Amino acid sequence: MKSSDSYGTVVTFRDPGSLAAWNAAMNAHAIFTGDPGSLIAATDDDSEFALGLVYRVAMQLRGGMPVGPELRELLARADALAPSVSASEKLHIEAVQLMAAGETSRAGDKWNLILRAWPHDFLALKLSHDAFFLRGDIDSMLASSRAQVGRLKPDAPSRHVALSQLAFALEESGEFAAAEHAAKEALSIEERDCWALHCLAHVYESEGRHAESLAFLESYAPIWRKQNMLDPHIWWHLALRYIDAGEHHQALTVFDEQLSRIDAANAWRLTDATSLLWRLELADIATGDRWHAVALKWAGHAARHQNAFLNVHAAMAFSHVPDLPEAGAFFRTLAFPSDGEATERASIFRNVARPLAEALRLYVNDAAAAAEPLLVLMPGLSDIGGSRTQRDLVERTCSAALLAAGDYDGCRRFLDARQGERPTSVWILSHRAALARSTGDGAAAARFTRQAQEMTGKSVC
C-alpha cells in the first residue's frame, strides 16, 4: 500500500497504523520533542515499511552505533524492499547504506538528490542536513539549505524546518544577519522550531550579544525546556553565557541540575555535559568529582568508534578517569577503523579523530606537551563535525596549551587568526589578556580584559 504522509511524500506500508506512526514521529522530530524512535520501532512488524527501517538505521548511525548484527539485519530488510518501494524510498535505502558504509558525504548527496526531485520529503530534508553537519561540511550544508528554501512554497508544511536549517548554515558560514532573519522567519511560522531557536543562540554568541542571548533564551524557556530532544543542548548554550560572564557557579548549577541527569544511552546528549566540564576547567574552575560520573556514562559507548565528534568527547571524559576499565578499552580500540579501510570515516579517524583524542589525553597530563600535536590538527578540525561553537573548545585548548608551553609568539599568531573572524569573542579576548599577563604587558592585559567585560557587562575571570 502506498499513500502520502503529512508532508506530501509517498510512503509504502502494509498496516495503516504505520503511516499514522510515521506522521506522528516526523511531526515530533520537526520540533524536537517526544520519542520518534519509539514510534517508528513500534512498526517493526510491518514488512513493507521501508522508511521506518531507514529512519531507525540513520538515527542509530548518527548516535555512533557500530554496524553490528542489529543494524545489518535492518539494512538487509530495507535492501530486500528496494524493488517494491517508490523511487524516492529506494534512494533513501541507498543513502542509508552509504552512511553505514562510512561514506557520510555521499549519503548526504544522495538525500540531497531526493530533495531535488521530491522537495517535500521531510526525512531527506532532515538527513541531508544531518549528514553535512556530521561532516562539518558548511559549504554543502549552505548550498543544500538555500536550494531547498527556494523550492518550497510559503505554505509548505516543512518550510519552517528548511528555514531553520538555512539559518544554521548561514550562521556557520559567518553570515549572521541573514541567519538571524531566516531563524526569525522560521519561528514566525512555528514558534516551537527548536533548531531555529538554537540557531539564534549561536548568532547572539558569535556576535557577542550576551545580554540579548540571555533574554532570548529566557523568553523562550517555556517552549524549549519541554523539547526533550534538544533541551540539554540549549541548557549548554545558556551555561556558555555564564562562563563568558564569569558566573561559573551558575554554569556548575546548569551541570548539576540539568546536564548531570542526562540518560547515558544517548551519546550526543553526553557531549554537552562533557564539553561544559572541560570549558570550566579551562577557566580554572574546580569541577570536583563530576568527571567520574560523566565517564561512567560514556562507559557504555567506549567501543563505539563510528562518529568522530562523539569519540573526541568520550576521550575528554576518559582522559580524566584513566583508571576506569572502559577508559583503557576506549583508547586501545582507537585504531578502528583499520588503516586498510578506504572510507571517508576511516580517513577522518586516521587523520583527525584518533590523533585529536590522543592529544586531548596528553593535554590532561601535560598541557605544554600537547601544544604541537593540537596545533597540527587545527586545519582539519571541521572534519569531526558539529558546529563552530562546539569545535572552538579544541581551539581554546590549543591556545591554553601554547600558553602553557611558553610559545607566546605561536599563541599570539593563533589568537590573531581567530580574532580576525570573531573580533567580539569573549574567550579570545580573555586568552589574549592571559597571554599579555604572561609576557608582562599589564596595559594590554587590562585592555583585553576590559573589552571582554564590555561583551558581557560583567567581570570576566
Helices 16-30 & 122-135 angle (0-180, nearest 10): 50
- Reduced to 3 states (helix: H, G, I; strand: E, B; else coil), residue 3 is strand
d(CA 162, CA 145): 6
Domain map of the chain by residue range?
A: 1-136
pLDDT digits 0-9 by tens, 378-399: 999 999 999 999 999 999 999 9
pLDDT, position 335: 72
**357 within 8 A of 315, measured Cβ to Cβ:** yes
Q: Measure the CA–CA gap between 222 and 186, rounded to whole angstroms.
A: 18
Q: Tell me the C-alpha distance between 189 and 68, whole Å.
A: 41
* Residue 358: closest CA among 350, 299, 407: 350
Which amino acid is residue 372, in one-letter code? Answer: E
What is the residue-averaged pLDDT of the chain?
94
Q: Which of 102, 98, 88, 104 is nearest to 2 (CA)?
A: 88
- Sign of the CA dihedral with 93 first, then 96, 97, and 103 last: positive
pLDDT recorded at residue 339: 59
Q: Which residue has the cell 542489529?
A: 70
Cα distance between residue 418 and residue 404, in whole Å: 19
**What's residue 458's pLDDT?**
56
Per-residue pLDDT, 432: 96
pLDDT band at residue 459 using 50, 70 and 90 as cut-offs: very low
Residue 303 in this model has a pLDDT that exceeds 90: no
What value does the mean pLDDT take over residues 139-149?
98
Contacts of 67 (CB under 8 A, 6+ apart): 61, 75, 100, 306
pLDDT of residue 341: 80
The better pLDDT of the pair 303, 177 is held by 177
Q: What is the pLDDT of residues 151-192, one digit of tens each?
A: 999 999 999 999 999 999 999 999 999 999 999 999 999 999
Q: Above 60 in pLDDT, residue 407?
A: yes
Does the pLDDT at position 460 exceed 70? no
pLDDT at residue 342, as a whole number: 87
Give the Cα separation of 366 and 109 in Å (integer).
42
CB 38 within 8 A of CB 52: no
Instruction: Give which of 206, 190, 260, 266 is closest to 230, Cα–Cα.
Output: 266
Tell me which amino acid residue 234 is: I
pLDDT for the residue numbered 461: 35
pLDDT digits (tens, 9 = 90+) for 354-387: 999 999 999 999 999 999 999 999 999 999 999 9
Q: How far apart are CA 237 and CA 200, in angstroms?
A: 11
Which CATH architecture best describes the domain 1-136? Alpha Horseshoe (1.25)
Q: Virtual CA dihedral for 147, 151, 154, 158, nearest 10 degrees? A: -80
Q: What is the pLDDT of residues 53-106, one digit of tens each?
A: 999 999 999 988 888 999 999 999 999 999 999 999 999 999 999 999 999 999
How much is the pLDDT for 454? 87
8 Å CB contact between 324 and 296: yes
pLDDT at 337 over 60: no
Q: How far apart are CA 282 and CA 293, in angstroms?
A: 19
Give CA–CA dist 457/262, Å, rounded. 31
Measured CA to CA in angstroms, residue 410 lies from 380, 413, 414 at distances of 18, 5, 6
Which DSSP state fits 350?
I
